[in-house]
Structure formats: structure tokens, C-alpha cells
């Protein structure tokens, strides 16, 4: 059990190195554009250009440039944004990351719970009105764009019906740190959580239902019924438990992608200062160091989350445990 | 046939129909048989002849939408057809247990073998985990599983096919069933393991007092194992009777053809093994008369208007064929003695 974990860890490190090289190459080693000008931003003076060139070693060999960049990102953490008057990039990201993490974890909690309940219920009551209603609701959830849903939620809770008893508790847009006011933190995040979760609830419940329905034809499900187990137990202990293997791999990818900045639209709509909104601002300003750092951050997250999923896989599926 | 007053399982006119294209198609039609205490009965037929469907219908395991089961199946006097799901669930895995064809896929892959056997025991009896595991290990040992305590902690994919089938039988026997339905228990196994598993099944009569309904398409397995045999063709009964009689003097041309298509163990081998020409009809296209008619060498006018009724031939043997009643029975088989060494 330990050996496959270590092997997976080694692979993860290797992939991370590859990702960092690729990101560096895309931003600084693409021919035809001077990286100095890109870092320095629009309308930079020749003095600043010279300073940047020296600081990042753009007059030296590529490996040195790569090493300098990685040093600035991970060791000295003094990668600065020239477009934003020398603001340091890494602390910005470290500040934004918890906001995104809170948003995504809460949403994940909701979407995993809701989709397991919906998917299992729909599979158990296959071809009844319950199944059809739930799956239709799921389809609607998938089809609604998150920014639209967010805007409508804002419209309803912030302005139109804010003064009714139903939504008077909703605070203004923005984020309240958990350490300052847990209640305020929850109130500020609960609507973004639900809005972000809606699409995933749709996808996950449909996938889970399809999985469970397919599993119902499996021999081992027939065995479980022939053992005289109750339908609920057959569904949950044998069906759902086996279906979770697929569920987890899907979840790992989506979760990582969101924590890495994929919740950009939700963050922008609700004014949450997370990684997504940071990327969004950097894109509008063409703030190259920030863009690169967020891309790097998000890539790291996807890779790490994948490694975590693989390890959870080892726990969930004994067949995988022995395969390596 | 030993005339027991009340057989363990008494199936009368069992029919299973499923809806297709607006009409009901009968997968199994008027199947009747009984299984006595501590008896092994064989249910034989080609693929699609309704063997498995019959067994699944008895267990209430058919869950395709709109399926209709009619007729009667009395287990110790209790009617199984139309029994309340909860009561049927108590019987399933308890008094009636089932072994499936493919031990490779019949266990849930994410739990250990022991966990799955414990689960069945605890579903039927109030036992602590520890006591259930003790019984599991003992059962595995009885089934000839080496190092049963460690095997119980292994996952299905870590065991060989033979071991998995033994574990499957151990699981089926875990609540001392009086009737064991074995659906092609040896088809997925190689021949030596097959022989061991059949030995095991034969031994159950004495060790556990269980009756076995053995579903198979292998006449050799039937000859070795079953005291009585039921031959199904296209969802209908073709013939039934004591195995020895059936093998020596088959009354239905289908039974005779099945027996002829087995290579003889002794004597000269035929240059070409006789095969039954054609394929069995699908339930939708079953002819009005005898279902075997289109493939039968003896087919004539009386076979065509309606399916021939089951006629008693004597000594517990019955056949759904017009030949014996018309006074033109099939000749006894020359190889009959050689079949049972």
C-alpha cells in the first residue's frame, strides 16, 4: 500500500516540473515577442525595460531564465507586477486562495450531497415520475449558465426582494473572512455556493443515475438480491459503493479545476476576491506576472488534486491496489 | 419416482411472460416439476431454453418491467408466485439459495469475500460480526478452501475461479438452505475444477441435507450428478424422468439428439459428431405445433397443429411428443451403458 503511494508522489513531482517548464515556455520562450516588454507592461520607459531585463535575466540563457523565474515564484516570492505598481504577485495569490477554497469546498459539499441523493433516488425509482422530474431538473441545472444564475440571484436577493423577510439577511456583495465573523462568512458565501453547485448537481446526479442503472444489470447486484438483502441495502451498500469509484474520479477533476481558478465567473459576479477574480483582473490589465503565477498555481492544483484522487482510488477500489 | 407425499418444491404450470411490441411473449410455458428432499434434479436445455428464467422466476429475481409470472410454485407448501416481497426476501438466501454461473462477476468487487458471506448470514440471523465471521471461515473450510481465515480477507479478484465458486457455494450454504438452485455452476470453470465442484454439490445432500436444482446445458454433468432430469426446449418441457431411464430410453427426439451430440467415451468414435441442424426458435417465432418440429427428423402431420401434451411413458418418465402415444417410440440408445461408467 505504501509503495504505490510513493510512486504516485514521485510521478506527481515529475509532472509538476513538466508543467512549470511548459508554462514558462509559453510565456517567456515563445519566439517573436520580447518577454521584457510583456513583463514591464504597456508604455514602459526604457529604464524600467532595462531593469526588468536585468532582474529576470532575459539577456542570459533560457535555463537561467527558467531558474530565475522559479526562484522568484517559489523561493524569494518577490515576483512583482509592473502593471500594478510593483505589487508582489505571490502574496496576492496566497491571499486569494483561501477565498476560492472556501467557495469551492462549500459548493462541493452541496453538490456531492445533493447529487448522491438525487442520483440514487432517481435510479431506485427508475422510470417513475420521480426519476423523470429529478433528471429533468438536473438537465435544467446543467443548461443554466452560472453567471446568469448568479446575476439573477443577486437581482432577487440584493435589490428586488432584499427588503422582504425572506432575503433581508443577505449581506452586500463581497467576502467576510471566517476568522473575523463565522456567521457573516456563511451568509456571504451561501448563495455563491448554491449557484456554483447547481450545474454540478445536474451533471453528477445524471452520471450517478446512469452508473447505478448500468450496475443494476451486473451479476453481483443479482447475487446481492439473491442473498435476501433489502432493496435499499442492495442499492446503497453494493450499487452506490461501487459507483463511487467513477464518481470520485469525476469529482477530483472538477474540484481541482475550480480551486485552480475555474470558479472565475462566480467570483466575479459575487465580488469574491478569489483566484478567479485575480486572474480576471490580471487579464483585463494584461498583467503578465500575475497571469503566469495564477496559471502555474492552477496547474499545480490540478496535478495535486489528481494525485489525491488516485490515492483515494486506492482506498476505494481493491482492484487498483493490486494492479501496480 | 419416489412418491413423496409433499415434495420440497412443487412447480405447476409455471409461465413467465414479458411484454414486447405490445404483446406478451411467453419465455417459459407451463413448466411443471418437483424436487424432493435431498434430491438433485437437473434442468437441461440449450441457451435460451428458459432454464435460467425458470430459476429466476422461482426466486422472484426477474425485475424487467412488466414481467408476468403465473402458475404455481409451492416451496414446503408456501406459494412462491405472488408472495409478498418481504417474505420472499426472507426465503431468498435463507431457505432457498442460489449459485450463479460466473463466479468472476458474481461477487461485488469492492468487498472482501468474508465480508460478503458475513453479510448474508447477518441478513438472516441475529449474530455478532465475530460469530458470523467464525461461521464464514468454517464454511470456507468445509468447501475445501485452503487457509480459509486468510481467504476470507481477500477480495474477489485475488482468487481463482475455482476458489471463487467455492466461496460462492459457501455463501449460498451459509444459512443452511433446504433448496439450492445452481445456475450453471461449473460452466465458467475448467474440467478438473468442475469435477471438484460437482463432487461438492453431490456431497451437500449428505452433509447439509440440501436438495439441489442443477441448471446446466451439459448432459455429462447431468449424468454424473442428477437423480432426475427435466429437458426444456424453447421454454417448454420436452421430457422429464429419472436420469438413468432418460439416458437409456429417451422418448423425445430432442433428448435423443442432445445425447447423440456428446462424443462417446468408449467404443469407436463417429467420424462426424451428429449435431442438431438449425437453431431453436425465439419465443416470438415459436411455431403453433411442437417447438422442436422444424428441427425434428420424425416430424409429421400430427405434430403441427398444436404442441403435443406431456404424455406419461411409464416409470416417472414424461415426454411432450406424439411418437410414444402413436406406438412408434424411439429405439433405446446403444451407448446408454457407456455413458455411465
Nearest to B100 among A219, A245, A319 (CB): A219
Which residue bears the cell 531593469?
A: A51
Residue in chain B nearest A319 by alpha carbon: B157
Regions in chain B scoring below 70 on pLDDT: 1-5, 265, 334-341
Evaluate whether residue B2 is within a structural domain. no
Please tell me which of A72-86, A274-288, B182-196 the model is most confident about, judged by mean pLDDT.
Answer: A274-288
Evaluate whether residue B77 is within a structural domain. yes
Q: What is the CATH number of the domain that holds B333?
A: 3.40.50.300
Task: Judge contact between B194 and B222, C-beta under 8 A.
Answer: no
* CA separation for the pair A256, A324 (Å, rounded): 25
Q: Does A226 touch chain B (CB under 8 A)?
A: yes
Residue in chain A nearest B175 by alpha carbon: A227
Structural domain count of chain B: 1
Residue in chain B nearest A227 by alpha carbon: B93
* CA separation for the pair A206, B84 (Å, rounded): 32
* CA separation for the pair B172, B98 (Å, rounded): 6
The CATH-assigned architecture of domain A95-323 is Orthogonal Bundle (1.10)
Evaluate whether residue B197 is within a structural domain. yes
**What kind and span of H or E run contains A210?**
helix A182-216
* CA separation for the pair A238, A1 (Å, rounded): 24
Complex ipTM:
0.82
* CA separation for the pair A249, A316 (Å, rounded): 11
- B interface with A, Cβ–Cβ < 8 A, is 59, 61, 63, 65, 89-94, 97-98, 100, 102, 105-112, 119-120, 123-124, 155, 157-158, 168, 171
A228, A231, A318, best to mutate vs chain B, most B CBs in 10 Å: A228
Read off the pLDDT of residues A204-236 as tens digits, 9 standing for 90 and up. 999 999 999 999 888 899 899 888 888 889 999
SS3 state at A218: coil
Distance from the Cα of B95 to chain A's closest Cα (Å) equals 10
* CA separation for the pair B150, B145 (Å, rounded): 10
Share of chain A above pLDDT 90, in %: 25
| Chain B residues close to A223, C-beta within 8 Å | 100, 106-108, 168
Query: Residue A83 pLDDT > 70, yes or no?
Result: no
Nearest to A227 among B102, B111, B119 (CB): B119
B108, B125, B136, B165, best to mutate vs chain A, most A CBs in 10 Å: B108
| Chain A residues close to B157, C-beta within 8 Å | 318-319, 322
Residue A85, pLDDT score:
66
Residue in chain A nearest B121 by alpha carbon: A227
- Give mean pLDDT, residues A5-26: 86
Written as nine digits, the cell of A306 is 489528481
What count of CB pairs under 8 Å joins A to B?
Answer: 76
Closest CA to B17 of B61, B68, B64, B63: B68
| Chain A residues close to B110, C-beta within 8 Å | 241-242, 245, 316-318
Instruction: Give the model's confidence band at A84: pLDDT under 50 very low, under 70 low, under 90 confident, else very high.
Output: low
Read off the pLDDT of residues A48-67 as tens digits, 9 standing for 90 and up. 888 888 888 888 888 888 88
Distance from the Cα of A223 to chain B's closest Cα (Å) equals 6
Evaluate whether residue B4 is within a structural domain. no
Task: Say which residues have a Cβ less than 8 Å from residue A237's Cβ, sequence separation at least 6.
Answer: A224, A229, B119
Query: Residue A270 pLDDT > 60, yes or no?
Result: yes
* Residue with the larger pLDDT of the pair A198 and B316: A198
Determine, for residues A228 and B59 on separate chains, whether the beta-carbon distance falls below 8 Å.
no
Task: Judge contact between A96 and A274, C-beta under 8 A.
Answer: yes
Whole-number mean pLDDT of chain A? Answer: 86
Read off the pLDDT of residues A128-186 as tens digits, 9 standing for 90 and up. 999 999 999 999 999 999 999 999 998 888 877 777 877 878 887 888 888 888 888 99
The 10 Å Cβ neighbour count of residue B122 is: 16
| Chain A residues close to B111, C-beta within 8 Å | 241
Give the domain extent around B311: 9-339
| Chain B residues close to A123, C-beta within 8 Å | none
Complete DSSP assignment for A149-198 = HHHHHHIIIIIITTTSTTTTTPPPSS---TTT-HHHHHHHHHHHHHHHHH
pTM over the 0.90 mark: no
SS3 state at A263: coil
* CA separation for the pair B154, B139 (Å, rounded): 15
Closest CA to B339 of B255, B220, B250, B225: B220
* CA separation for the pair B20, B29 (Å, rounded): 16
Task: Judge contact between A94 and A297, C-beta under 8 A.
Answer: no
**Domain locations along chain A:** 19-90, 95-323
| Chain B residues close to A127, C-beta within 8 Å | 65
Residues 292..321 of A with a Cβ closer than 8 Å to B: which?
316-319
Amino acid at each position: 500500500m505504501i509503495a504505490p503511494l510513493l510512486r504516485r508522489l514521485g510521478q506527481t513531482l515529475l509532472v509538476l516540473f513538466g508543467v512549470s517548464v511548459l508554462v514558462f515556455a509559453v510565456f517567456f520562450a515563445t519566439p517573436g515577442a520580447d518577454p521584457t516588454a510583456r513583463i514591464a507592461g504597456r508604455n514602459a520607459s526604457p529604464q524600467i525595460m532595462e531593469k526588468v531585463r536585468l532582474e529576470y535575466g532575459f539577456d542570459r540563457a533560457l535555463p537561467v531564465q527558467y531558474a530565475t523565474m522559479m526562484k522568484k515564484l517559489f523561493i524569494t516570492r518577490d515576483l512583482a507586477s509592473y502593471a500594478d505598481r510593483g505589487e508582489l504577485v505571490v502574496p496576492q495569490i496566497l491571499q486569494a486562495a483561501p477565498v476560492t477554497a472556501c467557495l469551492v469546498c462549500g459548493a462541493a459539499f452541496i453538490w456531492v450531497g445533493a447529487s448522491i441523493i438525487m442520483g440514487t433516488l432517481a435510479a431506485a425509482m427508475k422510470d417513475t415520475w420521480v426519476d423523470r422530474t429529478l433528471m429533468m431538473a438536473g438537465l435544467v441545472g446543467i443548461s443554466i449558465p452560472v453567471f446568469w444564475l448568479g446575476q439573477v440571484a443577486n437581482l432577487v436577493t440584493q435589490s428586488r426582494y432584499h427588503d422582504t423577510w425572506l432575503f433581508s439577511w443577505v449581506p452586500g456583495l463581497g467576502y467576510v473572512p471566517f476568522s473575523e465573523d463565522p456567521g457573516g462568512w456563511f451568509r456571504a458565501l451561501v448563495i455563491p455556493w448554491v449557484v456554483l453547485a447547481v450545474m454540478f448537481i445536474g451533471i453528477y446526479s445524471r452520471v450517478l443515475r446512469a452508473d447505478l442503472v448500468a450496475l443494476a444489470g451486473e451479476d453481483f447486484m443479482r447475487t446481492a438480491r439473491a442473498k435476501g438483502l433489502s432493496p435499499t441495502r442492495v442499492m446503497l451498500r453494493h450499487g452506490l459503493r461501487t459507483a463511487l469509484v467513477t464518481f470520485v474520479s469525476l469529482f477530483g477533476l472538477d474540484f481541482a479545476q475550480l480551486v485552480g481558478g475555474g470558479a472565475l465567473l462566480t467570483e466575479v459576479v459575487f465580488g469574491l476576491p478569489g483566484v478567479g477574480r485575480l486572474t480576471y483582473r490580471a487579464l483585463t490589465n494584461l498583467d503578465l506576472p500575475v497571469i503566469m503565477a495564477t496559471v502555474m498555481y492552477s496547474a499545480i492544483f490540478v496535478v495535486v488534486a489528481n494525485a489525491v484522487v488516485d490515492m483515494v482510488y486506492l482506498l476505494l477500489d481493491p482492484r487498483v491496489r493490486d494492479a501496480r | 419416482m419416489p412418491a413423496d407425499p409433499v415434495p420440497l418444491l412443487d412447480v405447476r404450470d409455471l409461465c413467465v411472460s414479458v411484454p414486447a411490441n405490445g404483446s406478451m411473449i411467453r419465455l417459459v410455458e407451463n413448466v411443471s416439476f418437483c424436487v424432493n428432499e435431498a434430491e438433485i434434479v437437473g434442468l437441461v436445455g440449450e441457451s435460451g431454453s428458459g432454464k435460467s428464467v425458470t430459476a429466476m422466476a422461482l426466486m422472484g429475481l426477474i425485475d424487467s418491467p412488466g414481467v408476468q409470472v403465473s402458475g404455481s410454485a409451492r416451496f414446503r407448501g408456501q406459494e412462491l408466485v405472488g408472495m409478498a416481497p418481504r417474505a420472499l426476501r426472507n426465503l431468498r438466501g435463507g431457505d432457498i439459495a442460489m449459485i450463479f454461473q460466473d463466479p468472476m462477476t458474481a461477487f461485488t468487487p469492492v468487498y472482501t469475500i468474508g465480508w460478503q458471506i458475513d453479510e448474508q448470514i447477518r441478513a438472516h440471523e441475529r449474530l455478532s460480526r465475530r460469530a458470523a465471521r467464525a461461521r464464514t471461515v468454517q464454511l470456507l473450510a468445509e468447501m475445501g478452501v485452503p487457509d480459509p481465515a486468510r481467504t476470507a480477507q481477500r477480495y474477489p479478484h485475488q482468487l481463482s475461479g475455482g476458489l471463487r465458486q467455492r466461496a460462492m457455494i459457501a455463501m449460498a450454504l451459509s444459512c443452511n438452505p433446504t433448496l439450492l438452485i445452481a445456475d450453471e455452476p461449473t460452466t465458467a470453470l475448467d474440467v478438473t475444477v468442475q469435477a471438484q465442484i460437482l463432487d461438492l454439490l453431490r456431497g451437500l445432500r449428505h452433509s447439509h441435507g440440501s436438495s439441489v436444482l442443477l441448471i446446466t446445458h451439459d448432459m455429462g454433468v447431468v449424468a454424473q450428478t442428477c437423480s432426475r432430469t427435466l429437458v426444456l426446449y424453447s421454454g417448454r418441457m420436452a421430457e422429464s424422468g429419472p436420469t438413468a431411464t432418460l439416458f437409456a430410453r429417451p422418448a423425445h427426439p430432442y433428448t435423443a439428439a442432445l445425447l447423440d451430440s456428446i462424443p462417446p467415451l468408449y467404443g469407436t468414435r463417429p467420424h462426424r459428431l451428429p449435431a442438431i441442424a438449425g437453431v431453436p426458435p425465439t419465443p416470438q417465432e415459436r411455431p403453433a405445433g411442437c417447438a422442436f418440429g422444424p428441427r425434428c427428423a420424425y416430424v409429421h402431420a400430427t405434430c403441427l397443429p398444436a404442441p403435443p401434451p406431456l404424455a406419461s411413458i411409464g416409470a416417472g418418465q414424461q415426454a411432450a411428443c406424439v411418437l410414444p402415444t402413436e406406438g412408434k417410440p424411439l429405439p433405446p440408445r446403444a451407448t446408454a451403458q457407456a455413458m455411465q461408467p
